[in-house]
Amino acid sequence: MNFGYTPEQEELRRQVEAFVQEHVTPDVLRDKEAQDDVMRGGTGDPFGSHMRELYRKLLDRGWLGIAYPKEYGGQGGDRISQYIVEEAFMRVGLNISLSGSGAPAIMAAGTEEQKRYYIPRLISREITFALGFTEPQAGADLAGLRCRATRDGDHFVINGQKIYTTSGHLSTHIYLMARTDPTLPKREGLSIFIFPLDTPGVTVRPLWSIQNNPRAPLGTTYGEARTNETFFDNVRVHESTLLGGENKGWKVAADGLNLDRVGAFRYVMSVRRDEDIVNWLKETRLEGYADNPAIRDKVAELWTEAQVCRLMTMRSMSIVQRGRDFSYEGAAEKVWAPEHGVRTTEAITQMLGPYAQLLRGSPHAVEEGVFAHNVLGAFQSGVNHGGVQIMRDQVARRGLGMPGPRRQKAAGN
């Protein structure tokens, strides 16, 4: 299979790279870093005037939401072109994709009204979603969640708690999974709701991460200074906020997350460590690194693994673009890419030795401490958006058709 770009796509890549060089200015990057100050509880526009102007220019060029239908505010283009645009911005630390936005799930399971309302506003960033899945007692075993949504006529009343709702204090809406029928098996009694975070009864409280002090530099994988816990106290929402129907939440969530893992955002997140260490080795004046045969051999091995990440990403986009069944491929990527990222982080730590411990602010920190900060966040990748062991289960069941675990019979039966 040929994953090379067409002449038209190559021309688009050149145009986007020239645009990035001209318009992603130091002011834009300062706006991006200033988001961390707002994340820490500061005041002001979390996006900044320069970033908002950048988004306006991208909208004018039709480079946001390229693969989404025109009737929903997109360009009706192909996923590869969308990938080309998003990858160029990810290389400079700006995520302009709709990964994590809820848009793929809304396109797959939403009503016509939901698509027409949410998708254009997600593309323009008028609306942003926080993900309300994990609970203190339900992380890897998401089906064990306890947040309840009780029907009351044509409304639902939500009570419970979510944890790790990163960007919950900045987002306008939440994409929430709650239990709507406790009498059904765990995975069958769940529903997805999408509604504004300023709905009465919602409280967002900060949880400070290990990256909070010192602040992680731009380009750190999982460098967020703050995440949140969110509480729901008799939150009343209309049944029209259901996504995909009542008690259909498990499939909606699984399909949405599977689609959400495909694209430049996840790919660049997985391989950026490899590229950063290669660039540093090319430029460093420190002796004993660039010419060390053990380091060169290990970097080559990791670089080869990174190309597997790229091929898996291109394969997944090709499947989705052709309208083929996309059931387990995103889960397979979610196993390979995060585990590759952890291996790369550990290897870089061994290569750098004591320098790998120096965080941002140290006068001897390598690349502003980005490699040290990556160590602090690396293992999140194995659990965020689905643990790798859960993903292996999806590959086994959906991809290989293997049966689920047998239930143990009670003693004496």
Which of 212, 245, 278 terminates a domain? The answer is: 245
Amino acid at 170: L
Whether residues 217 and 270 share a domain: the answer is no
CA 86 to chain centre: 13
| Residue 108 forms part of a structural domain | no
Tell me if residue 239 falls in helix, strand or coil: helix
Whether residues 219 and 272 share a domain: the answer is no
CA 320 to chain centre: 18
Q: Can you give the pLDDT of all 413 residues of the chain as single tens digits?
A: 567 789 999 999 999 999 999 999 999 988 887 776 666 555 556 678 898 899 999 999 999 999 999 999 999 998 899 999 999 999 888 888 888 788 989 999 999 999 999 999 999 989 999 999 999 988 777 889 999 999 999 999 999 999 999 889 989 999 999 999 999 999 999 999 999 999 999 999 999 989 988 989 888 888 888 899 999 999 999 999 999 999 999 999 888 877 777 788 888 888 999 999 999 999 998 888 999 999 999 999 999 999 999 999 888 888 887 878 777 888 888 889 989 999 999 999 999 999 999 999 999 999 999 999 999 988 888 777 777 888 888 888 888 888 876 655 545 54
Task: Please state the pTM of the whole predicted model.
Answer: 0.88
**CATH code assigned at 204:** 2.40.110.10
CB-based contacts of 88: which residues, under 8 Å, 6+ apart? 13, 16, 17, 19, 20
| Block residue for tokens 């991809």 | 399
Domain span holding position 24: 7-97
| Per-position DSSP letters for 285-348, written without gaps between them | --TTSTT-HHHHHHHHHHHHHHHHHHHHHHHHHHHHHTT---SSHHHHHHHHHHHHHHHHHHHH
Rounded CA separation 335/131 (Å): 21
| Number of Cβ atoms within 10 Å of the Cβ of 133 | 21
| Residue 331 forms part of a structural domain | yes
Which DSSP symbol is given to 397?
I
Rounded CA separation 359/81 (Å): 37
Whether residues 174 and 68 share a domain: the answer is no
Question: How many structural domains comprise the chain?
Answer: 3
Whether residues 271 and 395 share a domain: the answer is yes
